[in-house]
């Protein structure tokens, strides 16, 4: 067997980044009391708009911005429908996934078989020279660092900042937040846009770095994994990070174990990412404080009521 | 009620077809029609069919249909909208085709790569293992680490034949070669295909064969180094490297023949299994990344299969556990190949159930 952590960790981080980004966005959306089941649709839209932007401009950075914009644009549709027109969030979210899959297929017709510009690795000066640790943690592309930064930023925002407190208040009890004078709908719309942008980034990471090409339906359920992770992480950013890395890590590990010819039944290996991630996160949320779902999650809000 | 309605409709369309109305031809695909591989090639054959017959046929296509219960709904829907013949183009539709075919006796069903059939239910497949023999020869000669990788989808005879054929032909030209098989449990998941390719590269593999449907393995090989092959489609956009050659599925002649038979009223159930010689399996141009002697060796294997002087599964061959399967000079019969569910000697790992 020839599986070393030095090989595994960078693969793990690359494999986990799309679901981590998308999950983090959805976490903020749900903290504001909105359930957006359209993560898969926003991801795939971000995958194609990001790919289009990168191919058109030749710049991976603009590509990622394009992906975020695409995801946010689709999220805006969701926001307008659920916050403006008070449509059912579950149904609208599901429709958004179907719409995103179709829209991306349409947009992507001319982009099949093209190659995107290469996203460069950005070794952190000094740190990446360290033996063992350097190539493991400090020799990645920009988006991997960004996703880790985003976890810390979202955590700090929700926990220590005043806007974060307001966002949580809106999610826990929108009537009370409204009575205090907060603009519930506006705050939720901003959260929805953020969620869409993050899902779009995750999608763009798939089409620009992880695969790297555009193929229809290439998210293949990653959005649903991200949604599930948010629940199992009990709406907390750091458990979400652990969940995403566990899932991505065990997926990569099981593929590596098969490739290395380790004699473990394949069935066991194939289901291990789901099994282990769920087990660990359930144990973690049982051991920690009873962090339930945001009180107003999924409930429509209208100021007159 | 639904059945009798469908019967009436089936009879009606059958009559109409003879009156110069178009024959309705249904196609069900497991992936999107622009996957760059398997489903795209079936779709392109369907488009050629339409070009060939013009207004005499009408296409009904449904893409990205999951294998399993949902396929039954799609097939029933197609039969109800008056399809005369339906091509179900993935292995996992087999039981659904069987069940729907029983309900619509006047509609012809054709199932790709399966082994079941019925009075109005034919199956057809290509001898991809012949193509794998050529690819295996190339892989065995091109690998410098003596490790070749194989991305496997589902543990069905089709895939197992491919792994075995690849390995024994690589072994013939390179006695030290090892094969590493990774099971993905999907036909189409570009990210997973890319991750698995990357994992194989990390494990020292430098030539990867794929039995999945997207071009992601080649995209990964291009990024990380190593060689691969076009699968189902030529994938020539990745030539000369990493793509060395390819196995190309050419379904169009078969589709034209079968639809013509429906028009003539001569359609009969059949189990068709064609290979390189009949043109159903095409071998893509050898890339210039291959040295001349590799090209010559691959060409020789291919020619001997085409002229019938060589069968890829010719003894002596043992099963993985060492028990004899084929004696010296013995050739595997189609029945044994159709149900192949074991690795040959030298392949490591276990086949999942």
B4-42: per-residue pLDDT in tens?
A: 444 444 444 444 445 568 999 999 999 888 888 889 989
Q: Is the pLDDT of residue B45 over 90?
A: yes
Whether A183 is covered by a domain: the verdict is yes
Q: List pLDDT tens digits, range A61-118.
A: 999 999 999 999 999 999 999 999 999 999 999 999 999 999 999 999 888 878 888 8
Q: Which of B203, B228, B234, B347 to mutate to test the interface with A (most CBs of A within 10 A)?
A: B203
pLDDT at A295: 87
For chain A, strand residue ranges (E) read: 121-123, 139-141
- Quick one: which of A156, A128, A154 has its CA closest to A141? A128
**CB-nearest partner of B36 from A215, A258, A265:** A215
Whether A152 is covered by a domain: the verdict is yes
Using a CB–CB cutoff of 8 Å, tell me whether B57 touches chain A. no
Structural domain range at position A180: 5-116+132-221
Whether A18 is covered by a domain: the verdict is yes
Q: Is the pLDDT of residue A192 over 50?
A: yes
pLDDT at B19: 56
What domains lie within chain B, and their CATH numbers?
A: 2-126 (3.40.50.2300), 128-249+280-338 (3.40.50.2300)
* Mean pLDDT (whole number) for B230-251: 88
Q: Is B289:B241 a contact under the CB 8 Å cutoff?
A: yes
Counting residues of chain A whose pLDDT is more than 70, the rounded percentage is: 97
pLDDT at B6: 43
Q: B216 contacts in A (CB within 8 Å)?
A: 211, 213, 215
For A152-288, strand residue ranges (E) read: none
Question: What backbone torsions phi and psi does residue A226 show, to the nearest 5 degrees?
Answer: -60, -45
* Mean pLDDT (whole number) for A240-249: 91
Whether A277 is covered by a domain: the verdict is no
* Mean pLDDT (whole number) for B321-332: 92
Number of domains in chain A: 1
Burial B274-300 (b: 16+ CB within 10 A, else e): bbbeeebbbbbebbeebeeebbebbee
**CB-nearest partner of A256 from B189, B202, B215:** B202
- When computed from its CA atoms, the radius of gyration of chain B, rounded to whole angstroms, is 21
* Spatial distance between the Cα atoms of A146 and A119, rounded to a whole number of angstroms: 14
Q: State the pLDDT confidence band at A288, using cuts at 50, 70 and 90.
A: low
Q: What does the mean pLDDT of chain B come to?
A: 89
ipTM of this complex = 0.81
Could you tell me the two tokens for B73?
A: 């709904």
Whether A25 is covered by a domain: the verdict is yes
Whether A250 is covered by a domain: the verdict is no
Using a CB–CB cutoff of 8 Å, tell me whether A267 touches chain B. yes
Report the helix count and the strand count for chain B, using DSSP H and E.
Answer: 11, 14
* Spatial distance between the Cα atoms of B228 and A236, rounded to a whole number of angstroms: 42
pLDDT at A233: 87
pLDDT at A169: 94
**CB-nearest partner of A217 from B32, B180, B192:** B32
- Which pTM does this prediction carry? 0.82
Whether A260 is covered by a domain: the verdict is no
Interacting residues of A126 by C-beta distance below 8 A, sequence separation 6+: none
Q: List pLDDT tens digits, range B177-214.
A: 999 999 998 888 888 999 999 999 988 999 999 998 88
Whether A100 is covered by a domain: the verdict is yes
């Amino acid at each position: 067997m020839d599986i070393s952590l030095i090989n595994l960790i960078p693969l793990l981080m690359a494999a986990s980044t799309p679901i981590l980004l998308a999950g983090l966005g959805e976490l903020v959306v749900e903290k504001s009391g909105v359930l957006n089941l359209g993560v898969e649709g926003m991801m795939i839209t971000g995958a194609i708009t990001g790919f289009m932007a990168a191919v058109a401009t030749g710049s991976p950075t603009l590509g990622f911005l394009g992906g975020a914009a695409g995801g946010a644009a689709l999220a805006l549709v969701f926001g307008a429908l659920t916050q403006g027109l008070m449509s059912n969030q579950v149904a609208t979210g599901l429709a958004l996934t179907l719409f995103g899959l179709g829209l991306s297929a349409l947009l992507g017709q001319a982009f099949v078989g093209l190659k995107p510009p290469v996203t460069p690795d950005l070794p952190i000066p000094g740190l990446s020279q360290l033996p063992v640790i350097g190539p493991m943690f400090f020799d990645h592309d920009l988006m991997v660092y960004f996703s880790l930064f985003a976890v810390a930023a979202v955590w700090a925002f929700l926990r220590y900042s005043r806007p974060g407190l307001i966002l949580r208040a809106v999610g826990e009890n929108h009537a009370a937040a409204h009575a205090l004078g907060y603009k519930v709908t506006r705050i939720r719309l901003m959260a929805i846009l953020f969620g869409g942008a993050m899902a779009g980034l995750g999608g763009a990471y798939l089409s620009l770095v992880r695969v790297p090409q555009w193929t229809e339906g290439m998210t293949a359920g990653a959005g649903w994994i991200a949604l599930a992770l948010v629940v199992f992480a009990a709406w907390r950013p750091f458990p979400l990070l652990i969940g995403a890395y566990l899932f991505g890590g065990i997926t990569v590990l099981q593929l590596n174990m098969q490739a290395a010819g380790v004699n473990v039944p394949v069935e066991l290996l194939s289901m291990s990412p789901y099994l282990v991630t769920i087990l660990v996160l359930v144990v973690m949320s049982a051991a920690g404080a009873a962090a339930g779902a945001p009180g107003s999650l999924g409930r429509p809000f209208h100021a007159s009521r | 009620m639904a059945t009798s309605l469908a019967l009436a409709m089936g009879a009606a369309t059958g009559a109409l077809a003879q009156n110069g109305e178009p024959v309705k031809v249904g196609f069900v695909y497991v992936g999107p029609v622009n996957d760059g591989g398997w489903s795209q090639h079936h779709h392109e054959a369907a488009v050629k069919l339409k070009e060939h017959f013009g207004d005499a046929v009408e296409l009904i296509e449904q893409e990205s249909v999951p294998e399993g219960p949902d396929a039954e709904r799609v097939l029933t829907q197609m039969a109800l909208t008056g399809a005369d013949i339906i091509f179900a183009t993935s292995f996992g539709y087999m039981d659904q085709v069987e069940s729907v075919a029983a309900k619509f006796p006047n509609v012809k069903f054709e199932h790709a790569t399966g082994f079941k059939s019925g009075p109005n239910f034919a199956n057809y497949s290509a001898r991809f293992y012949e193509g794998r023999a050529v690819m295996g020869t190339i892989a065995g000669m091109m690998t410098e680490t003596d490790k070749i990788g194989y991305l496997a989808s589902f543990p069905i005879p089709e895939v197992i034949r491919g792994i075995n054929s690849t390995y024994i032909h690589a072994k013939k030209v390179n006695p030290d070669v090892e094969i590493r098989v990774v099971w993905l449990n999907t036909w189409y998941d570009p990210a997973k295909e890319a991750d698995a390719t990357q994992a194989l590269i990390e494990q020292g593999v430098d030539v990867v064969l794929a039995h999945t449907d997207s071009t992601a393995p080649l995209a990964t090989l291009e990024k990380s180094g190593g060689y691969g092959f076009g699968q189902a489609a030529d994938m020539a956009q990745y030539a000369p490297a990493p793509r060395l050659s390819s196995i190309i599925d050419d379904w169009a002649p078969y589709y034209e023949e079968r639809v013509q038979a429906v028009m003539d009223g001569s359609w009969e159930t059949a189990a068709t299994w064609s290979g390189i010689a009949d043109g159903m399996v095409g071998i893509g141009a050898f890339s210039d990344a291959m040295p001349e002697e590799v090209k010559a060796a691959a060409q020789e294997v291919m020619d001997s299969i085409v002229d019938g002087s060589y069968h890829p599964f010719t003894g002596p061959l043992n099963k993985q556990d060492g028990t004899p399967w084929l004696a010296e000079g013995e050739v595997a019969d189609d029945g044994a190949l159709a149900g192949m569910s074991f690795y040959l000697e030298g392949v490591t790992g276990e086949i999942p159930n």
